[in-house]
Amino acid sequence: MHEDRLRELRGEIDVINLQILELLTQRAQVVSAIGLVQQTLGTSFYDPEREAEMLTRLQQANEGPFSNETISALFNQIFRASLALEEEEALAKILVQRHYPDERTVIAMADGTEVGAGDFTVISGPCAIESAEQVDEVAGALAARGVRFLRGMGWKPRTSPYDFQGLGMEGLRIARQVANRHNMFIVSEVMDKSLISEMSEYVDVFWVGARNMSNTFLLKALGQVRQPVILKRSFGANIQEFLYAAEYIVSNGNPNVILMERGIRTFETRTRNTLDLSAVALLKLETHLPVVADISHSAGRRDIAIPLARATKAVGADGVMFECHPNPPVAMSDAKQQLSIPEMHALLDEIMDEQRVLA
């Protein structure tokens, strides 16, 4: 009986919903007519005084049960939607959103190498470029395993201004030579938009670090380069903010964005951050962009790198990033989390398809 009553009441709601929709549609038509008049008059679409006046009228008429604050919030939403209509904001459709189940952005490199097409991509290399020998040793070992994307960081964001900040352009030149020798792509962090132009000569894939995820001036500038961009999730950002950060790049003209989950800040201290593989699963539902996971900075320790790499692949990520150094204990940064070359081999043994290993 209660169920019957519930069904009946829900029917009433459905009717009211459609009546509201009908009124919203009527309203939009009047707003559209107003827009035409305003264009003739040369006045702005946005008119806060007028909105305040409408809200005041609604609040005077409101007899509950919604509070005046709630009514204001609801009508503000309606005002915003109307404003968007007026301004013909076709862009308001978020470009990074997946629109049908198998929609996917495949990043294609110059030689046809693809990210996001189904194969599991490995990105690796040392935390920072320290010397040509160091990068060459790691790059050679990775290339021999078929890894194509080499971390080649000239600039490192560091907490302290007195920590090693990277070799800068000199580092990039080293990385480029090494990458060319081993037929690899250079992935490199860009920390400010003023660096983009000079870096563009050396870098195959730009990398936006977690600390710059909300640097919208940088993101907009990266919307105008031809290289793909790896965008890291800030350790303090939620999934929605992460998607909108990508939207800043894509809506400015560069569709080739790879999302990188890298752990969020939580109260747990045994890992540096908490790798959020649920976010990877959700992102694969919500966006067509490729999604990879950084298992080095999230864990901050190498002893669980292999299980995390397996889990990253199993959860449906398009790839994994881990740091690899010829001699981790003497690394100038991130010593605790970089894998040695033998550890890298052990990890790849577990996540690479047999065919690839044989090939």
Q: Which of residues 4-63 bind a copy of itself (CB under 8 A)?
A: 5-6, 9-10, 12-14, 16-21, 23-34, 37-44, 46-52, 54-55, 57-58, 61-63
Min. distance of Cβ 128 from a copy of itself in angstroms? 11
Q: Is residue 238 part of the contact set for a copy of itself (CB under 8 A)? A: yes
Between 154 and 185, CB nearer to a copy of itself: 154
Sign for the CA dihedral angle at 312, 313, 318, 323 comes to positive
Q: Which has the closest alpha carbon to 106: 282, 318, 265?
A: 318
**Contact stretch for a copy of itself (CB under 8 A) within 106-114, 118-126, 327-335, 340-348:** 327-335
The answer to whether residues 235 and 273 touch, using CB atoms and an 8 Å cutoff, is yes
Min. distance of Cβ 129 from a copy of itself in angstroms? 12
What part of residues 111-150 is at the interface with a copy of itself (CB under 8 A)?
130-131, 134
41 in the Ramachandran plot: left (φ > 0), alpha (ψ -120 to 50) or beta? alpha
- Token pair for 264: 């969020």
DSSP 8-state assignment for residue 206: E
Min. distance of Cβ 26 from a copy of itself in angstroms? 6
Between 224 and 278, CB nearer to a copy of itself: 278
What 3-state class would DSSP assign to 342?
helix
In the set 102, 111, 268, 354, which binds a copy of itself (CB under 8 A)? 268
**Contact stretch for a copy of itself (CB under 8 A) within 104-112, 140-148, 153-161, 175-183:** 153-161
Min. distance of Cβ 179 from a copy of itself in angstroms? 21
- Token pair for 131: 């010397």
Q: Is residue 226 part of the contact set for a copy of itself (CB under 8 A)? A: no
In the set 201, 241, 349, 353, which binds a copy of itself (CB under 8 A)? 241
The answer to whether residues 95 and 285 touch, using CB atoms and an 8 Å cutoff, is no
Q: Is residue 311 part of the contact set for a copy of itself (CB under 8 A)? A: yes
**Contact stretch for a copy of itself (CB under 8 A) within 86-94, 112-120, 196-204, 254-262:** 86-94
- Token pair for 177: 């030579």
Total residues interacting with a copy of itself, rule: CB under 8 A: 147
Min. distance of Cβ 330 from a copy of itself in angstroms? 5
What part of residues 245-264 is at the interface with a copy of itself (CB under 8 A)?
247-248, 251-252, 264
What part of residues 160-219 is at the interface with a copy of itself (CB under 8 A)?
160-164, 191-194, 211-212, 214-218
The answer to whether residues 129 and 153 touch, using CB atoms and an 8 Å cutoff, is yes
Min. distance of Cβ 112 from a copy of itself in angstroms? 28
Bridge-based pairing of strands 114-115 and 319-323 is unpaired
The answer to whether residues 320 and 309 touch, using CB atoms and an 8 Å cutoff, is yes
The answer to whether residues 195 and 155 touch, using CB atoms and an 8 Å cutoff, is yes
> Rounded CA gap, 275 and 300, in Å?
10
Backbone angles phi, psi at 91, to 5 degrees: -65, -15
Between 146 and 307, CB nearer to a copy of itself: 307
- Token pair for 317: 């990520």
Residues in the chain: 359
In the set 327, 353, 356, 357, which binds a copy of itself (CB under 8 A)? 327
Question: What single string gives the DSSP state of each residue in 178-194?
Answer: HHHHHT-EEEEE--SGG
